[in-house]
Amino acid sequence: MHWLRDAYRFVFLLLLLATATAQAQPDPLPSWTDGPTKAAIIDFVERVTEVGGPDFVPVEQRIATFDNDGTLWSEQPVVEGMFALERLRAKAVEDPSLRERQPFKAALEGDKVYFSQAGPQAVAEVLALTHAGMSETEFAEAAAAFLRRARHPDLGVPYTALVYQPMLELLAYLRENGFQTWLCSGGSQEFMRVIAQPLYGIPPERVIGTRFDLKPSERDGRIEFRREPRIATLNDKQAKPLNIHVQIGQRPLFAVGNVHSGGDIAMLTYSAERSGPSFQLLIDHDDARREFAYQEPDNASLSAAREGGWTVVSMKRDWQRVFAQPQAQSDRQRSE
Amino acid sequence: MHWLRDAYRFVFLLLLLATATAQAQPDPLPSWTDGPTKAAIIDFVERVTEVGGPDFVPVEQRIATFDNDGTLWSEQPVVEGMFALERLRAKAVEDPSLRERQPFKAALEGDKVYFSQAGPQAVAEVLALTHAGMSETEFAEAAAAFLRRARHPDLGVPYTALVYQPMLELLAYLRENGFQTWLCSGGSQEFMRVIAQPLYGIPPERVIGTRFDLKPSERDGRIEFRREPRIATLNDKQAKPLNIHVQIGQRPLFAVGNVHSGGDIAMLTYSAERSGPSFQLLIDHDDARREFAYQEPDNASLSAAREGGWTVVSMKRDWQRVFAQPQAQSDRQRSE
């Protein structure tokens, strides 16, 4: 009965292999420190995907929305702002009167105090002037060229190197578990569409952003849309849930934003008010050594997180690695 | 060498089985008449999905957009119009002055001539009055209740029975081939979201429609959006490509509309102008016996189809069966 013993041995080996494979299942979030934040994320994902479990959520309701600036990549400075500034400088050469008119004067002079007082509408005006008067195709080409050419003023690396590695892992982990990952950014929809697929694997139809009035026009005999210098929706604060409603039609099961201007509180609240389970993640920029440290003067986002029981990410404690491109990290540390 | 002969026999049987399976692959469009229209659809889908073929289109670009009324279900009468009328009648009981004001007077009196002259803006005003002042949840409940209760005035069946069986097969066939199927309707986004998933398997985030201004409000302590009586976008004609750009960000690879008011010409043109392959399907309502026969006074859609080389569906010739629910068919024939 040699063959029978061999067969048993073979089955035993198979079982051993299967067990080893199960145990060797790789850590889905290797750049996250083992601890309560990482555990809370994994616990939530396991609960809502457990077929037959009390918190199971069907795949079509697994909507995850991510803010972009300060959530998926660094926002010191805001990259689209640097793009707008480059375009504004070029426009000011053609039309020097821009140097005397606000908010363009402040933008050209780097007057941050003006913008912090004037609020998002002033930023929107700069965006409108620098983003309008082009077809979508021309805009996409201009944005892509900027991203290839531009370097971070302090770090000297391309902005695309400043994507957060732990967030790339979180995006992939959620998608592996049947989640749709969406971008919901205060940046313009078209700028975000240029980066969303190559940087985050998020397709154009899952990008929600600030939008301009669009006017149908013709270019090379084809219908195109020209941006008018008027904001149709400034996708910040209360507008985020509203535009999520328009483009998704469901409350996010998983929503991620960051501490900076309170811009994500409404989106995370909207998610938290979902019937049934939901998860809110708020990123706190508390790592001056590896990235940047900044707070809100009124602490609104952290207060909302405490009140709502949201999970707060301390970049310092919860992330073992910050940037997707290791070069960016060492440059950051050298630049100190 | 028995075992060798047996092995050959076994392989032969396997091959036979494989061939039989390949031959027995079921017709993906069984309700479509074998002929040039069906062949053109299948040929296109096979070309763009053939890995390594000259017309291959990556799965993330396989966007299909469908008009709703007259394309996926019958539009005689327009179902959302009947819903609006029911609500308008209820409002006229509360506020009798509506009976004297246009366009409400015309709607209450069934004055079709008024609407054909006043154009889509008049319809929009009726929609605005009857769809506004509710939260999204309340609206969805009201629409779902209407669809359960209401019956087609001539056929006596629920409106949901008047979905076209050949189009259900086309939706499923495209999805099996990696296409995203989107609804792009002149109807309101919220009404379409109520029917899209149960009738067509289209999730809420893939519904593009007419939208009202939304105002954040609270209901039971949660953020909700109330519709204001102002149209934000009337998703018809030129607005269809524009809203496809906003919600999808790509030109449709496959676009389907119907002859009625020229409302789909811009969407099909936008698709036809895609770089690389694309397919446009235009449904001609020429079957008075099984459905309804109607034309455009200026023949604009059929002229555009001829000029653009779009594929025209003759419901009479190309569809062996019209309605998804057989009951509707026999009732239609009895009602003559």
Confidence of residue A335 (pLDDT cuts 50, 70, 90): low
CB atoms within 10 A of CB A10: 10
| pLDDT over threshold 70, residue B310 | yes
| pLDDT over threshold 80, residue B167 | yes
DSSP letter at A250?
Answer: S
Q: Which of A102-106, A234-238, B88-92, B116-120 has the lowest mean pLDDT?
A: B116-120
What count of Cα atoms within 13 Å lies in the side-chain half-sphere of residue B86?
A: 15
Q: Distances from the Cα of B231 to the Cαs of B112, B118, B176, B227, in angstroms?
A: 22, 16, 36, 9
Q: What percent of chain A has pLDDT over 70?
A: 90
Cβ distance A204 to B247 less than 8 Å, yes or no, reads no
How confident is the model over B104-163, as pLDDT tens digits? 999 999 998 998 888 777 887 898 889 888 888 889 999 999 999 999 998 899 999 999
| pLDDT over threshold 90, residue A152 | yes
Report the side by side order of strands in the sheet with B254-258: B222-233, B207-219, B180-188, B63-66, B254-258, B279-284, B311-314
Name the nearest CA neighbour of B76 among B315, B256, B291. B291
Q: Distances from the Cα of A60 to the Cαs of A64, A180, A304, B54, B203, in angstroms?
A: 11, 8, 28, 34, 8
Mean local confidence (pLDDT), A46-70? 98
Query: Which among B63, B245, B251 is the top mutation candidate for probing chain A, defined by the most A β-carbons within 10 Å of its own β-carbon?
Result: B245
Q: Which chain B residues have a beta carbon less than 8 Å from that of A63?
A: 205
Cβ distance A266 to B223 less than 8 Å, yes or no, reads yes
Cβ distance B223 to A60 less than 8 Å, yes or no, reads no
Mean local confidence (pLDDT), A323-331? 74
| pLDDT over threshold 70, residue A8 | no
How confident is the model over B190-224, as pLDDT tens digits? 999 999 999 999 999 999 999 999 988 887 888 88
User: Residue A5's pLDDT is what?
Assistant: 67
Mean local confidence (pLDDT), A304-331? 90
User: Residue B220's pLDDT is what?
Assistant: 80
Strand partners, A214: A227
C-alpha dihedral sign at B137, B168, B127, A223: positive
Instruction: Outline where DSSP puts E strands in B199-310.
Output: 207-219, 222-233, 254-258, 279-284
Average pLDDT of chain A to the nearest whole number = 91
Q: Which chain A residues have a beta carbon less than 8 Å from that of B266?
A: 223
Q: Which residue has the tokens 């029911």?
A: B86
Average pLDDT of chain B to the nearest whole number = 91
Name the nearest CA neighbour of B138 among B79, B196, B190, B85. B190
Q: Are A247 and A193 in contact (CB under 8 A)?
A: no
User: Residue B24's pLDDT is what?
Assistant: 62
Distance from CA of A20 to the nearest CA of B (A): 35
pTM score: 0.90
Which of residues A309 and B131 earns the better pLDDT score? A309
What count of Cα atoms within 13 Å lies in the side-chain half-sphere of residue B271?
A: 32
Mean local confidence (pLDDT), A58-84? 96
User: Residue B224's pLDDT is what?
Assistant: 87
Of A203, A248, A273, the CB nearest to B60: A203
| pLDDT over threshold 60, residue A22 | no
| pLDDT over threshold 80, residue B20 | no
Q: Distances from the Cα of B156 to the Cαs of A84, A123, B70, B151, in angstroms?
A: 59, 57, 19, 5
Of B193, B241, B247, the CB nearest to A223: B241
CA angle B25, B30, B34 (to 5 degrees): 100
User: Residue B22's pLDDT is what?
Assistant: 55
Name the nearest CA neighbour of B124 among B207, B214, B194, B187. B187
Alpha-carbon gap, residue A132 to A73, rounded angstroms: 25
Name the nearest CA neighbour of A317 among A46, A31, A28, A27. A31
ipTM: 0.89
